[in-house]
Structure 1
Amino acid sequence: MGLSHQLHPSAAIGTVHLKVKSLQTSLSFYTEVIGFQVLRHEGAIAELTTDGTHVLLILEESEQFHSLMSRNVSGLYHFAILVPDRKSLGLSLRNLAKHNIPIGQGDHLVSEALYLSDPDGNGIEIYADRPRETWQRDEQGEYIMTTDPVDIDGLLTVSADAHWQGLPPATVIGHVHFHVGDLRIAKQFYTDTLGFDVVAHYGGEALFISAGGYHHHIGLNTWAGKGAPAAPKNAVGLRYFTITLPNTNELDDVVSRISEAGIPFERQNHMVSFEDPFGIGIKLVVNDIN
């Protein structure tokens, strides 16, 4: 794959747009339990932030949205909130415990992560990265990641003298992870067309990809079943996520590949909307912080 087919190293995940059944319920959860702030709230849509400027999460309510009884469709597995340090992760852990939220956890060597679900069953990861210089690669050049128990006592100790004030301003959406129906098709789309690099495999059932050498911006798995169909449009879950690019030249490069691949898209100035092969909505946006 030539360099022209690689995403710019500063490409990242920007915003996640979720469909929820009750905006009031979700707003309480995402502000009090997770720690976002409301930036804008108009009608059935609310935009959430951590720094008072950038929208990280959009919540959209409709009485037509319904929960899925089983997880046998493509779509959101979880979206991952990246906090700046272990102390922040420890504070999140303390706040989740205070609200009696059941959590899962995993030390992935490159990061430490807490897992939970929102009131609609949307998966959330809150995590802190270990220093990049400690990340290790195997002989194939792929990152070595695992799922070990998190040092919960260490997180509680490092945050013992700090006070919970919500998510820190430097918080971002670190990655998104999806159920897909076919890993080969997913790999072709996300690497050949969009330009992400493969950074890790997890058996034959999961693939991790990124830009700029990150441990992963997108996870893809077939755990919902091979051939899992697209989620119904009126189901709760992800409407779209955004990939931020540094300038319009980079945007034009990706758009030309999308066009060559015959993928329908809509363009409005510096934003391009389309779907992956599994019905997952994606928007490419030019970053406003140059």
Structure 2
Amino acid sequence: MSIHSDTSLGHVRLRVSNLEQSIQFYKEVIGFPIAQIEGKVAYLKVEEEKTLLVLEEIPNAARLPERSAAGLYHVAILLPDRPSLASILYHFADKHIQIGQADHLVSEALYLADPDGNGLEIYRDRDRSEWELEQNGDYKMASDPINIESLIQEAEEHSWKGLPQGTVIGHVHMHVSDLDETEAFYRDIIGFETVGDYRAMRAKFMAAGRYHHHLGFNIWAGKGVPPTPETAVGMSYFTVKLVDNEEREKLLERLQKANYPFKEESSIIWVVDPAGMNVRFE
């Protein structure tokens, strides 16, 4: 049974070592206009009612060597259109921010990391009519160079005013310990569909509603790696937004049928996936 096609991602909670430093980065570099602070936790928003990222300062937070554990590879922030991506590209240039970039055919993406090394992708989607399929039904994707000249023509120079209305969390990409085990969990119990089985890349992409991916998994940190400990910087959890109570009941039924452990907290369902990552269903 598949999860509802309108399922989307909600906020992601990240562990950081210095909240003040992180807030400054996410406001001045990434462009979140709203940061509500409660003690050692900050709630980052573009629109007042919608939290996209939660930052929590962890005392004496460790920073693990790159690609040494299962956990966050990057959180992907989806912009509403190409001019918005062009605008933030100008902004990164003005700020002398080092970035990576790629044309994935279904999208165009910019890459960077926060002060603690938490990976970030800032991207825009091409129209679905432009997405192509491989013969096996996977979406055709690549990591080609972006046509920068074409992109920068989409925005006025130095026109950046922060993240625009309509910005959302588009997907989360994670290092996992076992691709097949992770895929089976998210497919057979949670209900996501595999839309990209990129074995040559040692990665799989999964989604609801035939999106190019809400979830990305790779074993680039090595098969069998342990989870990132809660004492280290990284991702505490990501959120899957269920469309209604009927979908919630269906998920509970699948979890119970599979005898998979979960916790209920009011209307929230908490699950730890096979790689040790916390998933929040709301």
Name the TM-score class by shorter chain. over 0.9
Measure the CA separation in 2 of the matches of 1:255 and 1:115.
36
Q: Secondary structure at the match of 1:193?
A: helix
Aligned pair partner of 1:235 in 209, 232, 235? 232
Aligned pair partner of 1:136 in 127, 132, 137? 132
Aligned pair partner of 2:33 in 37, 40, 47? 37
The match for 1:271 is 268
Shift of 1:273: 1.1
Shift of 1:52: 1.8
Shift of 1:134: 0.8
The match for 2:220 is 223
Aligned pair partner of 1:208 in 196, 205, 219? 205
Shift of 1:38: 2.5
Aligned pair partner of 2:99 in 84, 87, 103? 103
What are the Cα deviations for residues 241-260 of structure 1, in whole angstroms up to 9, with x where unaligned? 00001101101111221222
The code of the aligned residue for 2:137 comes to G
Measure the CA separation in 2 of the matches of 1:103 and 1:167.
17
Shift of 1:162: 6.9
Shift of 1:39: 4.3
Task: Name the TM-score, length of structure 2 as normaliser.
Answer: 0.97
Task: Name the TM-score, length of structure 1 as normaliser.
Answer: 0.94
1:261 aligns with 2:258: yes
Structure 2 gaps of 5+ residues are none
Measure the CA separation in 2 of the matches of 1:127 and 1:152.
14
Q: Secondary structure at the match of 1:187?
A: helix
CA RMSD in angstroms, aligned pairs only: 1.2
The match for 2:75 is 79
- Report the more deviating stretch, 134-143 or 237-246: 134-143
Shift of 1:14: 0.7
Measure the CA separation in 2 of the matches of 1:33 and 1:45.
19
Measure the CA separation in 1 of the matches of 2:60 and 2:188.
36
Please say if residues 19 and 235 of structure 1, whose CA atoms lie closer than 8 Å, have aligned partners that are also in contact: yes
Aligned pair partner of 1:21 in 10, 14, 17? 17
The match for 1:288 is none
Q: How many residues align?
A: 281
Structure 1 gaps of 5+ residues are 286-290
1:64 aligns with 2:63: no
Please say if residues 104 and 116 of structure 1, whose CA atoms lie closer than 8 Å, have aligned partners that are also in contact: yes
Q: Secondary structure at the match of 1:79?
A: strand
Please say if residues 203 and 216 of structure 2, whose CA atoms lie closer than 8 Å, have aligned partners that are also in contact: yes
Aligned pair partner of 1:188 in 148, 169, 184? 184
The code of the aligned residue for 1:48 comes to L
